[in-house]
Structure formats: structure tokens, C-alpha cells
Amino acid sequence: GAGVSQSPSNKVTEKGKDVELRCDPISGHTALYWYRQSLGQGLEFLIYFQGNSAPDKSGLPSDRFSAERTGGSVSTLTIQRTQQEDSAVYLCASRGVLNTGELFFGEGSRLTVL
Amino acid sequence: RKEVEQDPGPFNVPEGATVAFNCTYSNSASQSFFWYRQDCRKEPKLLMSVYSSGNEDGRFTAQLNRASQYISLLIRDSKLSDSATYLCVVSLRGVGTYKYIFGTGTRLKVLA
């Protein structure tokens, strides 16, 4: 498709399990962001990738969270030893080279930790 | 203090009303400014960018006051379909980074 694609759309897991969330950005977009949105809350910045540069990981809430972006395209957000407070919608967004400023979001991955 | 602050609302207005939302930001180095719209259980989508000179897109008018670090959005002749959460967003360039910082959003409900 032409938009940002995220999978899975829904994930239910047990506390202590690891989860992987995937983001496939718009083709040619060099910038990729991960955000987290808890119920009724705003978007919390997690991590930013730009091309082959070192990512800005300053928003990752703990060392249980990590992300990578392979080949400058697909990104995976990994949460180890999930906790109930990790339950949220994880949103991925990409932005084009020309930096019009517009972020294009995927539909998100809704994570529920039981 | 939050980096981007908005009144959470909800604003309940009748169809046809004019409604205004405000937003303040704390970092004077913020570079670009936007309003995004987020429908219930959907992803945010860009509504409009905000420029210092003010800009208009149909029924929507956005204003930026850099001196006061204040952004506004005015919706005229509101429609039922305008019901959504409106997110104020600022961008900030740092060393090796370019962040978009989102407010928590203002909920609007337009009533028939």
C-alpha cells in the first residue's frame, strides 16, 4: 500500500513476555518515528530514525524497550519482559526527504498486557 | 510544565458555531507548528501547518504568536464531521534529532 503499515494491529500478551511491533514506512521516507499513546493521553515520543544516522532514543522509557531500522526502511520496536503499564497504542510515523513537516502515521499497534 | 499545553475540553458546540482552541509551548527554539486531527481510535492526521502570518484553509484559521509562544485554531460554521480531538504539535531540532512534540489534545463535539 501507499501508506505506513503497522503490524500486528492488536496484540494481547501476558506480563513478562516479549513483544515485537513492526512498521513499514512510506517508500522513500527517510525519517521514522515511534510514539506511544496511552488511553486518553497524548502521544509520547519514543525514538527517531533518520536515514543511516544514529537514532535519537531519548524517549524510550526503560531499557526493556529497543528499536531498530534495517536497511533504512522497516523498523521493529521490541518490548522485553512486558509490564501492564506498557499497555498502549504504539504509533509509527514517517516523513519524506523534503521535510514538509507532515508526519504520516500508521494505524497503530494496540498492545494489551494482562 | 508540559512542553505543549492544551485545554483538554471537551468543547460541546452546536452545528454552525464558531469555536477556538488555544495551545502554548514552552521551548522558544521550537521551529514549526501544526494542528493535527485525531478521530476516536484512529491515527492522527495533519489538519494544517501554522505560520507566523496566520493562515486559512476553508473554515479553519490558524495563528501563531512566537513572542507569546501561543498557537490558536479557529473553526467557523462547525459541522458534525468536525467532532474529533485536535492536537497541537511543535517541532524542535536538536543535535542529531528532529522531534515532533504533541499536546494532549482538545476534544471537540459538534451537536446537531
Could you report the per-residue pLDDT of A15-70, keeping only the tens digit for each?
A: 999 999 999 999 989 899 999 999 878 899 999 999 888 999 999 999 999 999 98
At residue A98, the pLDDT reads 62
Q: Residue holding cell 514517517?
A: A94
**Residues 72-91 in A contacting B (C-alpha not used; CB under 8 Å):** 91
- Coil vs helix vs strand at A70: helix
Phi-psi region of A98 (alpha: psi -120 to 50; beta: other; left: phi over 0): alpha
Using CA atoms in the order B44, B61, B108, A90, what is the torsion angle rounded to 10 degrees?
A: 10
Asked if residue B24 has pLDDT above 80, the reply is: yes
Nearest to A107 among B43, B49, B105 (CB): B43
Q: Is B12 or A52 the better-scoring residue by pLDDT?
A: B12
Answer yes or no: do B43 and A105 touch at CB < 8 A: yes
Tell me whether residues A45 and B104 touch, CB distance under 8 A: no
Percent of chain B at pLDDT above 90? 82
| A25 closest CA partner among A79, A67, A81 | A67
Q: What percent of chain A has pLDDT over 70?
A: 96
